[in-house]
């Protein structure tokens, strides 16, 4: 039990701005989905409160700002690194080198700004629903955990995701991750409506899966940035689809 609690606390520390003394380890990813749901609940409550005080546009900015604050912008940084490393023409080695650098280039700047603008604009057109955000973040973090346990790691000399190699390889890992994933899907369908929710999830998953597979092809394997970037892309596309006039 102590080992599981430590894994949960390490997942909280890794995915959010809440600090704990637990250090990330191979068991940490099995709780990614749980932490995603908690973050989604906090953001959903902020969304509900902000929507009762401000206009939809301001409320959506508050939510996205809170998302960045609660996660230290971890996955926004990932999508920026993916923009710099995947969108330009260069060798595999150069892509990995660029994605490791702490600075952000022009492609990365455009990518992260586009994601932020799409999230703000999409949230402004959707009725505040904590269930929707709990579900989307639960799914995206669960997807990240599953992605980490599949395929080859692209960095032969090690990187942030090295500590998770070998994760999600046992039945006990999925005994936690899969129920969280299923509950998250139900929450999205509840918050968005069955038809709209299904359309949003299918489109978002297809685009995120393509992005991830394309990244693996270009990098020779996955990286932490690719995993995180795919997750936030999934959320953003789902919100964008839900903002479509025909689904509102």
Over the stretch 81-107, which tens digit does the pLDDT of each residue have? 999 999 888 888 899 888 988 889 999
Q: Print the domain residue range for 117.
A: 2-135+160-247
Task: Look up tokens 């603008």; give the residue.
Answer: 117
List the beta bridge partners of residue 222. Answer: 153
In a domain, 209, yes or no: yes
In a domain, 50, yes or no: yes
Of 244, 130, 138, the closest CA to residue 191 belongs to 130
What per-residue confidence (pLDDT) applies to 1? 75
In a domain, 150, yes or no: no
Average pLDDT, the chain: 91
In a domain, 148, yes or no: no
In a domain, 196, yes or no: yes
Nearest 5°: the CA angle 130, 136, 139 is 135
CA distance 95 to 99: 6
Of 59, 221, 224, 53, the closest CA to residue 145 belongs to 224
CA distance 247 to 192: 9
In a domain, 85, yes or no: yes
Query: Above 70 in pLDDT, residue 215?
Result: yes
What per-residue confidence (pLDDT) applies to 67? 97
In a domain, 95, yes or no: yes
State how many domains the chain has.
1
Contacts 24+ apart (CB under 8 A), 50-58: 50/128, 51/128, 56/123, 56/124, 56/125, 57/120, 57/124
Q: What is residue 214's DSSP assignment?
A: H
3-state secondary structure of 243: coil
The mean pLDDT value for 201-216 works out to 96
In a domain, 215, yes or no: yes
3-state secondary structure of 148: helix
% of the chain surpassing 90 pLDDT: 67
H/E run at residue 65: helix 56-71
The mean pLDDT value for 5-19 works out to 91
What per-residue confidence (pLDDT) applies to 23? 86
């Amino acid at each position: 039990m102590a080992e599981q609690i430590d894994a949960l606390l390490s997942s909280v520390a890794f995915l959010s701005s809440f600090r704990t003394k637990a250090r990330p380890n191979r068991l940490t990813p099995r709780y990614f989905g749980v932490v995603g749901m908690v973050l989604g609940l906090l953001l959903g409550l902020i969304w509900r409160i902000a929507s009762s005080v401000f206009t939809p546009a301001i409320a959506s900015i508050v939510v996205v700002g809170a998302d960045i604050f609660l996660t230290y912008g971890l996955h926004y940084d990932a999508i920026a690194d993916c923009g710099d490393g995947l969108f330009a023409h260069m060798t595999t080695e150069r892509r990995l080198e660029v994605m490791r650098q702490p600075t952000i280039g022009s492609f990365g700047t455009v990518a992260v700004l586009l994601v932020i603008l799409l999230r703000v604009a999409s949230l402004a057109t959707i009725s505040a629903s904590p269930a929707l955000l709990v579900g989307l973040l639960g799914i995206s973090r669960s997807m990240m955990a599953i992605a980490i346990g599949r395929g080859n790691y692209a960095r032969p000399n090690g990187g942030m995701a090295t500590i998770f190699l070998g994760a999600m390889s046992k039945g006990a890992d999925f005994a936690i991750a899969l129920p969280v994933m299923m509950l998250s899907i139900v929450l999205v369908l509840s918050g968005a409506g069955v038809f709209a929710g299904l359309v949003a999830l299918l489109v978002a998953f297809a685009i995120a899966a393509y992005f991830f597979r394309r990244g693996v092809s270009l990098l020779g394997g996955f990286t932490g940035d690719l995993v995180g970037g795919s997750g936030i892309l999934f959320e953003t596309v789902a919100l964008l689809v839900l903002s479509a006039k025909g689904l509102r």
